A and B are shown apart, each in its own frame.
Chain A
Amino acid sequence: QKEVEQNSGPLSVPEGAIASLNCTYSDRGSQSFFWYRQYSGKSPELIMSIYSNGDKEDGRFTAQLNKASQYVSLLIRDSQPSDSATYLCAVNTYFGNEKLTFGTGTRLTIIP
């Protein structure tokens, strides 16, 4: 079982709609969760972090965490073409050594 799993996509969403990105993780001891955005040919950029169950909102972005279900999601409201990128879920895991483990990423395309 992969430690952090995401649907690879591509996920196509019309401009102005809500984009929903999902991530599951296997380490029940994980405490911190992150979403990174990566444009093609560029480095990852941290856009959201979440540590407690529930929702966390920052502008058009909302991160949701459910530790019982081992599930993290990212909602992007009023999607813009500039949101087209690969979104990487990252989880602080404790297998052997403590480290940040990335999912394979979901490629999101916003259709004008």
Chain B
Amino acid sequence: DTEVTQTPKHLVMGMTNKKSLKCEQHMGHRAMYWYKQKAKKPPELMFVYSYEKLSINESVPSRFSPECPNSSLLNLHLHALQPEDSALYLCASSRGQDYGYTFGSGTRLTVV
């Protein structure tokens, strides 16, 4: 299995909703990442988990809450989002920084 699986593929949520994005990999990768990508912009790092521990939080607002239940799973909990949070949310995993990342297909999030 050489894939990173993200669900759902599309999500529309209101500003008062609570939702979660899910990410799963079975490649034994030790690091997992959440990125946010706006149209015509590069991916922007949000969080890094290394060996199931949060190692980098790029000053992301608290309305985004990551969780790593085990070495294969990564969640991103969303609460009270703003319309400007609408973007493609990408999960990635890697054996380590020097090996490049494998990206999932992303969740297209629209906040209304």
Q: Which residue of B lies closest to A88 (CB)?
A: B42
Write the A38-72 contact mask toward B (1 if CB under 8 angstroms, else 0): 00001111100101000000000000000000000
Say whether B81 faces chain A, with CB atoms less than 8 Å apart.
no
Specify which chain A residues have a CB less than 8 angstroms from the CB of B104 in the assembled complex: 43
Say whether B100 faces chain A, with CB atoms less than 8 Å apart.
yes
A100–B93 Cα gap in the complex (Å)?
A: 12
Q: How near does chain B come to A36, taking the closest CB pair, in angstroms?
A: 8
Q: B102 touches which one: A42, A46, A100, A104 (CB < 8 A)?
A: A46
Specify which chain B residues have a CB less than 8 angstroms from the CB of A97 in the assembled complex: 48, 55-56
Asked whether, in the complex, the Cβ of B105 is within 8 Å of the Cβ of A43, the reply is yes
Asked whether, in the complex, the Cβ of A43 is within 8 Å of the Cβ of B56, the reply is no
Write the B42-60 contact mask toward A (1 if CB under 8 angstroms, else 0): 1101001000000110000
Say whether A92 faces chain B, with CB atoms less than 8 Å apart.
yes
Say whether B84 faces chain A, with CB atoms less than 8 Å apart.
no
Asked whether, in the complex, the Cβ of A44 is within 8 Å of the Cβ of B103, the reply is yes
A64–B111 Cα gap in the complex (Å)?
A: 41
Q: Which residue of B lies closest to A44 (CB)?
A: B103
Specify which chain A residues have a CB less than 8 angstroms from the CB of B100 in the assembled complex: 32, 34, 46, 49, 90, 100
Say whether B70 faces chain A, with CB atoms less than 8 Å apart.
no
The 4 closest A-B pairs by CB, nearest first: A102-B42, A43-B103, A32-B98, A46-B100
6 further interface pairs, Cβ-Cβ under 8 Å (given A42-B106, A97-B55): A31-B98, A32-B100, A42-B105, A46-B100, A92-B98, A99-B45
> B-side interface residues toward A, CB under 8 Å?
41-43, 45, 48, 55-56, 88, 90, 97-106
